[in-house]
A and B are shown apart, each in its own frame.
Chain A
């Protein structure tokens, strides 16, 4: 059964897209600003600028000076945050509904007139370096993920980490930031999504007043996308003083708007969602090789990765865990998935989608993500039906296309110290 949401769609002359979904049940609302820019829009030398810039967006603009953005927002009963991915940068505010005029003014002001100065760049650079030390340099998942990107992509910008290489973070200059802002933070590269307790006509009037005068930007530079086909298994090894080994496997996968991405969502669920998922049942419970077996497949604008992370029990041989994993993937390719198991995966995916729509923030994020990644929020409405239409034969076909041995990328973490 399709979902029902009465989302209003608008666009300004400068290219800004607006999506609004009123819901008066609680006196709160969420505003998302999705910019179609992420690490895929970077180049070597300034990797991490999308993420660093996300931090810079909180450092003042013409009307609201340094420290004012969050101070004014919190004083009005709101909070803000943001994230940067390979493909997008998203900013959001959750707030008491009477703060809407302020929230729109804050967002429009920084889109129109962000302040980029050397002092705030120097400070924010240090914060980002700490974030990198936290998420990557001192974190096993982070360091393996970084190695996976560099291993599995040779030419595409997905090769470098979203947070950027440390030397690039240190080298990004104020002119780099200014040029980046002019190019990617124009209204024609943004989708606003407003969900919650508001009056749509008044909100639209205010958006037009505040965002309407902001000039549109030039067309975006083309993203380099010359990734050659993979012709053999690739491996990388990390030695680190950890308690246990770990294995991260990546397979090149289609982009998010490819219909096969929905099939891979179901394969992801069948392999690792819930205690009865194949990899958890086999590797964690039956063979007791892993503390955790987790699959991650996220939709990306360009062909991305289907990743499988195995956190091994201390002392387990990584090769043994790998061969158990290959056996499970091989089974998916050789044997048709039983209908009951496919139904389980479909029900889990549908329920996860429904649960994500319970909050204003969840609805706003889903609407924006569908707009940016798949071209229209309406995609959300028939997603349950599209998942329901996937057959066992589809699962087998996509598994066979995705998991051949020559397309494996494998990062292995070996416990131990590096020689001095």
Chain B
């Protein structure tokens, strides 16, 4: 397998610090625009967890030119649905339209991102909606587990230690000034990126982006001063400990095992991804084999690297009926600890390298996927080399590299935490004698 060529593209960094990317994507007559700004969840102020997400949700609830229903009509009459996502690092707005609507779509995207009204009544309404949604999320054990693992995995005070949607107790305090202030200081040109994918030449796409951006050049802040975030190292562990989050009536327990992992910028990215995939990434990985195929303990088993820019987590995820919780945890810990010591077998390593390399082009197929991949590579500071050399780097991972990185990507490290969302009595009995167990209330994670 050889490296995969990217489609024709042009990258231009403007004096303001904004990057514009034009990507030529032939085939279907579609146009995609994606604007990323450095306004991710890690920027949420203290006791304001969820403000980045709240702000992005409010963007389309009215601009200085038109009220919310007219914004919806403007976007959706083009056949588009506006995606508004918040990662730990960035907020991103994106839409895809038939090619002939490219100019109108870009106008709409920039208006929504840069001219929000933050009308007082819309802020109050969004606050009530978000609080209700956070409360309802408690009905989904997997969602609760995901919220808990971020919170507990990074630990108190860490900029990544909260889910993007925040906590109910914080959202209840949000006022118009919070969203206004966040937008004014984080939606800046420095560090932002506009990616455009369509049928035109890359230079024409970049020219289109610059022409549209010129309308906002004077009103869009280039750079705002703010205190840098403090990313302290995650604390070393003192052995496994468990947190059980009580979900009444649950007949199945959601299980997460989480340890400090590697950041997105690690130079060991290729071996980390290969080694994690052999452990719990593919359908024939070690853990899927042991837990699902050999023992029938669960329908779903995986390990995943949460690779944020300045810190990461390694996470094991599965679920099983209450009666087999202990067996699943024991098997998972035993296999992961053994793997941390020995790394993958030669066969597993060979298989995983080819698996990842073979499937890599699938992530470049759609307009949305290629724009996101290129935007993330540039914003993460790892450059297009990451995409251009992905296959050869993955295929070149050696057994020694995999063995060396294995303990650093294992969810069952020294600082591992076991998180169980399920019926507390059943879980406590199942985990007796394994490690200290603390039972927490579901409501804490709303």
Contact = CB atoms under 8 A, between A and B. Distances in A.
B359 A25 contact: no
B362 A355 contact: no
Nearest to A358: B366
Contact of B284 (A70, A275, A311, A359): A70
B169 to A, nearest CB: 15
Nearest to B292: A127
Contact of A130 (B69, B293, B319): B319
Interface stretch (B173-181, B263-271, B296-304): B296-304
Interface in A352-385: 352, 354-355, 357-361
Given A75-B351, A79-B283, A288-B129, A28 B361 contact: yes
A284 B354 CA distance: 47
Contact of B136 (A71, A76, A240, A314): A314
B133 interface: yes
A83 interface: no
A361 B251 CA distance: 36
Contact of B359 (A94, A129, A139): A94
A258 interface: no
B116 interface: no
B298 A95 contact: no
A134 B28 CA distance: 38
Nearest to A28: B361
Given A74-B351, A354-B30, A243 B283 contact: no
B354 A138 contact: no
A130 B299 contact: yes
Nearest to B29: A354
Contact of B355 (A74, A244, A291): A74
A321 to B, nearest CB: 13
B283 A70 contact: yes
Could you say which of B96, B139, B248 has the most chain A C-beta atoms within 10 Å of its C-beta? Answer: B139
Contacts of B77: 340, 343-344, 347
B98 A351 contact: yes
The size class of the interface chain B forms with chain A is 35 or more
B393 to A, nearest CB: 15
B132 A291 contact: yes
Identify whether the interface residues of B are mostly helix, strand, loop, or mixed: mixed
Could you say which of B28, B76, B359 has the most chain A C-beta atoms within 10 Å of its C-beta? Answer: B76
A140 interface: yes
A78 B252 contact: no
A57 to B, nearest CB: 13
B361 A284 contact: no
A123 interface: yes
Given A26-B364, A71-B351, A285 B68 contact: yes
Interface string B237-281: 000000000001111100000000000000000000000000000
Could you say which of B78, B125, B321 has the most chain A C-beta atoms within 10 Å of its C-beta? Answer: B321
Contacts of A334: none
A284 B57 CA distance: 14
A357 B366 CA distance: 9
B367 interface: yes
A240 B249 contact: yes
B79 A243 contact: no
A227 interface: no
Contacts of A311: 136
A288 B125 contact: yes
Could you say which of B4, B98, B282, B283 has the most chain A C-beta atoms within 10 Å of its C-beta? Answer: B283
B270 to A, nearest CB: 16
A99 interface: yes
The size class of the interface chain A forms with chain B is 35 or more
Contact of B366 (A274, A313, A343, A359): A359
B289 interface: yes
A347 B98 CA distance: 9
Given A244-B135, A358-B30, A138 B351 contact: no
Could you say which of A131, A244, A274, A417 has the most chain B C-beta atoms within 10 Å of its C-beta? Answer: A274
B284 A74 contact: yes
A241 interface: yes
Contact of B362 (A94, A138, A350): A94
B203 to A, nearest CB: 21
A110 to B, nearest CB: 15
Interface string B118-134: 00000001001100110
A128 interface: yes
A99 B359 CA distance: 11
Nearest to B319: A134
B367 A358 contact: yes
26 contacts: A25-B26, A74-B352, A76-B354, A77-B1, A77-B357, A77-B358, A94-B359, A95-B359, A96-B354, A96-B359, A122-B296, A127-B296, A130-B299, A130-B321, A138-B141, A138-B252, A140-B139, A240-B249, A244-B139, A285-B68, A347-B77, A348-B81, A351-B79, A355-B30, A358-B366, A361-B362
Interface of B: 1, 4, 26-30, 60, 68-69, 72-73, 75-82, 96-98, 125, 128-129, 132-133, 135-136, 138-141, 248-252, 282-284, 289, 292-300, 319-321, 350-352, 354-355, 357-359, 361-362, 364-368
Interface of A: 25-28, 67, 70-71, 74-80, 94-96, 98-99, 122-131, 133-134, 137-140, 240-244, 273-276, 281, 284-285, 288, 291, 311, 313-314, 340, 343-344, 347-352, 354-355, 357-361, 417
